């Protein structure tokens, strides 16, 4: 078939030629729009694949939890950008917005206590176009958007007038100077608290804070900020010591550890220290003691460090499978018994690792059996200890007994040196501790509560890279203990630290240290 003959536009009547030109222009615009949308679709497909890779990629390529969150932030922002570009490309000339049309927004979820600034937009005229005169207001449309005012520095100038008598030479009156946490220094207690929260809760190292202050015209060197942090850590130490005392009077605690890279000045590189988290969280069974966590820095992971941390505590200790805890327990005398409750989640993660890698039917069966135990635990949330124990004895104990019998059978046919055999050994080696939760309603099925308190330290470690010295790591542990205990009790760390530093500066008596515990703080008392 021969190609169509070229049309001679000049030979066409003017009105037909104009229509033809307009149609060709519309076709070119549509082709350009299709090409643009196709490009946006390719970008969205690429981003979807990136999401899937982050979630379901091979283990060697998977991101850890914190890195995955950072990746998701950037991917989600990129998706939003691509979708916005696609929407704009598909709608080159958006119609005027109808104020009555539905608008996607976070309507009804903005806290009522937030201050509100009303901006009333009046029409250009309220005169009736028919000439009837002034119109009457019959209603309004209201939209609310969340705004922010960046942090603002201010100077607190304390003025103390002096008064003297004109009739005699000896009478002079002046108010005493208020007490400051750091005498002769620039910061208020609120400023110090802000620096602590930024470093240990928001994970912003001091040198970055110094850069942020510089953008506001405030020249504060990192070393100056470090001095303020060190002084605050010193003054807060008695409160952390009191917090430790509260924890050790409990009958059940959690303990776990995580690495803490520390700079070794003698070798010019970092060494591996450890932050041990000693925690209490009785909320799942309605315990009266408030949740709390205290971090202890130690240069190693040996049993001697766990022994020192647990000095003065006896009772039930929920832990993972680290062998040092057994050594600490075995060294205890009858006057200070230590019962180890081991973690089912730790074993479950090991089976999940085997299943994800090899699709092992044995690992799958183990996971199914453990899931049955967790289903029972989910129904027991917030139940009192007696009820938890009764239900566990009736429903969980037979499942655990069956799990033990199944474990013995599969281990008999599995090489102890294989990866599966090594994972199954966790259950066999810690069987006694895995059964403790059946006989005590206060005990959890796992130690996830303490692992959750360690996650903020991992993020701090990634942002700050390492502690600059062993002593710096001790300060890190001390202040992080107060901040994370605030979070566990629903207390604003900034408000708490501000009020606490002000109380310390004002000479708060040492025999009333319990008044300064995070759970005792309320904004009304500050």
How confident is the model over 71-97, as pLDDT tens digits? 554 555 555 555 556 666 666 554 444
- Does residue 67 register a pLDDT over 80? no
- If one counts every other C-beta atom within 10 angstroms of the C-beta of residue 360, the result is 18
> Alpha-carbon dihedral of residues 472, 476, 478, 484, nearest 10 degrees?
180
φ, ψ for residue 502 (rounded to 5)?
-65, -40
Single out the residue of 251, 253, 128, 208 nearest to residue 465, CA to CA. Answer: 208
**Between these two residues, 508 and 30, which has the higher pLDDT value?**
508
Edge to edge, the sheet with strand 252-264 lists: 292-298, 269-280, 252-264, 315-319, 338-342
User: Whole-structure pTM over 0.75, yes or no?
Assistant: no
Rounded Cα distance, 45 and 51, in Å: 10
Rounded Cα distance, 336 and 316, in Å: 11
pLDDT in the model for residue 107: 41
Pairing between β-strand 269-280 and β-strand 292-298 as defined by DSSP bridges: antiparallel
- Please answer whether residues 526 and 498 qualify as being in contact, where contact means their C-beta atoms are separated by less than 8 angstroms: yes
**Separation of CA 353 from chain center:** 25
pLDDT band at 43 (very low <50, low <70, confident <90, very high): low
Report DSSP letters for 418-457, one per residue.
SHHHHHHHHHHHTHHHHTGGGT-TTS-SS-HHHHHHHHHH
Rounded Cα distance, 110 and 26, in Å: 46
Pairing between β-strand 315-319 and β-strand 252-264 as defined by DSSP bridges: parallel
Mean predicted confidence (pLDDT) in 493-516: 93
Rounded Cα distance, 262 and 357, in Å: 34
- If one counts every other C-beta atom within 10 angstroms of the C-beta of residue 369, the result is 17
- If one counts every other C-beta atom within 10 angstroms of the C-beta of residue 321, the result is 19
Cα first-last separation, the chain:
90
pLDDT in the model for residue 456: 58
Question: What 8-state DSSP symbol labels residue 276?
Answer: E
How confident is the model over 328-353, as pLDDT tens digits? 898 887 787 899 999 998 889 889 98
Structure tokens at 271: 């060494």
Q: Decide: helix, strand or coil at residue 155.
A: coil
How confident is the model over 137-175, as pLDDT tens digits? 888 888 777 777 777 888 888 888 888 887 777 778 888
Report DSSP letters for 51-118, one per residue.
HHHHHHS-GGG---HHHHHHHHHHHHHHHHHHHHHHHHHH-SSPPPPPTTS---S-TT-S-TTS----
pLDDT band at 369 (very low <50, low <70, confident <90, very high): very high
Residue 173, strand partner residues: 163
pLDDT in the model for residue 154: 87
How far from 488 is each of 159, 192, 525, CA to CA, in Å? 40, 22, 19
Domain positions in the chain are 349-445
pLDDT in the model for residue 482: 95
Single out the residue of 216, 210, 77, 207 nearest to residue 150, CA to CA. Answer: 216
pLDDT in the model for residue 99: 42
Rounded Cα distance, 447 and 342, in Å: 8
Tell me the residue ranges of DSSP E strands in 161-251: 162-164, 172-174
Rounded Cα distance, 295 and 339, in Å: 21
**Between these two residues, 57 and 175, which has the higher pLDDT value?**
175
Single out the residue of 72, 77, 41, 73 nearest to residue 55, CA to CA. Answer: 72
CB neighbour list of residue 20: distance below 8 Å, 6 or more residues apart: 7, 9, 12
- Does residue 326 register a pLDDT over 60? yes
- If one counts every other C-beta atom within 10 angstroms of the C-beta of residue 127, the result is 12
- Does residue 293 register a pLDDT over 90? yes
Q: Decide: helix, strand or coil at residue 314.
A: coil
């Amino acid at each position: 078939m021969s190609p169509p003959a070229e049309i001679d536009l000049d030979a066409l009547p003017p009105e037909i030629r104009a229509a033809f030109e307009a149609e060709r222009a519309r076709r070119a615009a549509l082709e350009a729009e299709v090409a643009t949308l196709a490009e946006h679709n390719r970008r969205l497909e690429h981003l979807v694949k990136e999401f899937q890779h982050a979630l379901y990629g091979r283990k060697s390529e998977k991101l850890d939890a914190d890195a995955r969150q950072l990746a998701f932030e950037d991917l989600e922002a990129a998706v939003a950008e691509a979708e916005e570009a696609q929407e704009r490309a598909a709608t080159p000339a958006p119609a005027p917005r109808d104020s009555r049309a539905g608008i996607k927004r976070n309507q009804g979820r903005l806290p009522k206590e937030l201050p509100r600034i009303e901006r009333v937009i009046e029409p250009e005229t309220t005169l009736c176009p028919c000439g009837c005169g002034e119109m009457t207001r019959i209603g309004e449309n209201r939209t609310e958007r969340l705004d922010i005012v960046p942090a603002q520095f201010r100077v607190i100038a304390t003025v103390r007038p002096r008064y003297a008598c004109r009739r005699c030479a000896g009478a002079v009156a002046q108010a005493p100077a208020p007490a400051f946490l750091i005498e002769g220094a620039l910061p208020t207690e609120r400023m110090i608290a802000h620096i602590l929260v930024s470093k240990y809760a928001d994970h912003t190292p001091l040198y970055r804070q110094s850069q942020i202050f510089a953008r506001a015209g405030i020249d504060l060197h990192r070393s100056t900020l470090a001095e303020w942090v060190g002084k605050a850590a010193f003054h807060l130490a008695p409160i952390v010591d009191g917090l430790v005392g509260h924890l050790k009077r409990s009958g059940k605690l959690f303990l776990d550890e995580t690495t803490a890279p520390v700079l070794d000045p003698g070798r010019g590189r970092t060494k591996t220290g450890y932050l041990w988290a000693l925690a209490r969280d009785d909320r799942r069974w309605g315990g009266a003691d408030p949740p709390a966590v205290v971090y202890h820095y130690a240069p190693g992971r040996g049993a001697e460090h766990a022994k020192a941390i647990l000095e003065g505590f006896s009772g039930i200790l929920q832990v993972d499978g680290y062998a040092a805890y057994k050594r600490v327990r075995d060294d205890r005398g009858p006057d200070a018994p230590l019962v180890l409750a081991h973690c089912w989640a730790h074993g479950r993660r090991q089976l999940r690792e085997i299943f994800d890698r090899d699709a092992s039917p044995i690992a799958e069966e183990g996971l199914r059996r453990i899931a049955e135990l967790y289903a029972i635990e989910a129904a027991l949330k917030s139940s009192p200890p007696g009820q938890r124990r009764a239900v566990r004895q009736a429903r969980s104990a037979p499942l655990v007994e069956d799990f033990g019998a199944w474990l013995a059978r599969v281990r008999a046919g599995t090489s102890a040196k294989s990866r599966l055999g090594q994972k199954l050994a966790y259950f066999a080696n810690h069987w006694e501790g895995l059964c403790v939760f059946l006989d005590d309603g206060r005990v959890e099925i796992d130690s996830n509560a303490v692992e959750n308190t360690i996650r903020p330290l991992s993020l701090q470690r990634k942002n700050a890279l390492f502690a600059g010295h062993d002593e710096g790591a001790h300060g890190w542990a001390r202040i992080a203990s107060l901040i994370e205990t605030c979070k566990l009790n629903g207390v604003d760390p900034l408000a708490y630290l501000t009020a606490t530093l002000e109380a310390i500066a004002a000479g708060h008596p040492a025999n009333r240290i319990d008044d300064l515990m995070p759970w005792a703080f309320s904004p009304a008392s500050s």
